[in-house]
Amino acid sequence: MESRSAILLSSLLFSLLLTATSAQLSSDFYKNTCPNVETLVSSAVTKKFQQTFVTAPATLRLFFHDCFVRGCDASILIDSPTNTAEKNHPDDISLAGDGFDTVVKAKAAVDSDPQCTNKVSCADILALATRDVVVLTGGPNYPVELGRRDGRISTIASVQRHLPQPFFNLDQLNSLFGFNNLTQTDMIALSGAHTIGVSHCSRFSNRIYKFSPKNRIDPTLNLAYAFQLRQMCPLNVDPTIAISLDPTTPNTFDNAYYKNLQQGKGLLSSDEVLFTDARSKSTVDLFASNNDAFQQAFVNAITKLGRVGVKTGNQGEIRHDCSQIN
């Protein structure tokens, strides 16, 4: 009986801790220390975006990969002389350099204001830059909660089993997102970020060449689309070739991703399963028919994502250089 009370108490303390954490984050956290932080970050991100569109998907993906490993603490940005940091894990090697560069540029812009130098965390700069790229590609504007501190640890081992894989089924996706306090609806809404993303042929080649002994092509894949993908991804394709996750409006943050799923045009198995599994299909149908419903759910989900495992108060530090601990 005693152990049951202890379990109840620890789970109560954990939920209180989650509540306390989000209470310590606030959108006006820097109002006295760096009041122009949003403008400074936004102008740097806009300039970078004008140079290359990749800025948008790269920054958004960087934020997601950061938050799912050790929480949103900018540990993904840390360099390791021995290549043993988070960014060196196979699941993170494909993170585009433009995402990292966006944070570097935004950090330089913030630090160029004498009032702000070394006052704003790299974790908060990444969270702001993520909102900015969503807006720049036509997505919703939303207030960003701030007050995160930067983590001091980044290990290759901590990435293991913490990021979704392209072959995941609905139960595996829900389990991983649930571990981060995100619901199935949050997961489906965050998957919608694939509306501006890309993937590499190796992540889905089994769906178009060797799905099973009976079917070479995954039967849930639109056949005409599968043949198009074969043309873009021949068997010995250059591994760096990038394929849009949204074949219809790849440069616009919209609900086309869900309309594609309805037509069997989800690039990854983990995309298409959201439509083929009866438990998630109704949410896909809702988002496909109602862009406002999608955008509202996305804002709610990315705000919750931004609270995952955050360090606040005296925890962590404010990194002077985002790529190394002080």
CA dihedral 310, 316, 41, 155 (to 10 degrees): -80
Q: Is 2 labeled as ligand-binding?
A: no
Identify the CA nearest to 269 among candidates 220, 225, 196, 197: 220
| 173: amino acid identity, one letter | L
Q: Is 164 labeled as ligand-binding?
A: yes
Q: Is 272 labeled as ligand-binding?
A: no
Please give the backbone phi and psi of residue 26, each rounded to the nearest 5 degrees, phi first: -155, 150
Q: Which helix (DSSP H) or strand (DSSP E) does residue 198 occupy?
A: strand 198-200
Q: Is 135 labeled as ligand-binding?
A: no
Tokens of 131: 């909102």
Rg (CA), the chain: 20
Does residue 200 have an active-site annotation? Answer: no
Q: What share of the chain is helix, strand, coil (3-state, %, to 5)?
A: 55, 5, 40
Please give the backbone phi and psi of residue 146, each rounded to the nearest 5 degrees, phi first: -130, 165
Q: Is 197 labeled as ligand-binding?
A: no
Q: Is 249 labeled as ligand-binding?
A: yes
* Contact present, 216 and 205 (Cβ < 8 Å): no
Q: Is 86 labeled as ligand-binding?
A: yes
Q: Is 75 labeled as ligand-binding?
A: yes
* Contact present, 89 and 160 (Cβ < 8 Å): yes
| 6: amino acid identity, one letter | A
| Residue of 65, 89, 162, 320 marked catalytic | 65
- Integer Cα distance of 18 and 29 in angstroms: 18
Residue 139, CA atoms < 13 Å, CB-side half-sphere: 34
Q: Which long-range contacts (CB under 8 A, 24 or more apart) does 285-288 make?
A: 285/258, 287/188, 287/189, 287/192, 287/255, 287/258, 288/255, 288/258, 288/259, 288/261, 288/262
Q: Is 46 labeled as ligand-binding?
A: no
Q: Is 104 labeled as ligand-binding?
A: no
Which residues are part of the catalytic machinery? 65
Annotated binding site for Ca(2+): 66, 69, 71, 73, 75, 86, 195, 246, 249, 254
Annotated binding site: 66, 69, 71, 73, 75, 86, 164, 194-195, 246, 249, 254
Annotated binding site for heme b: 194
Annotated binding site for substrate: 164
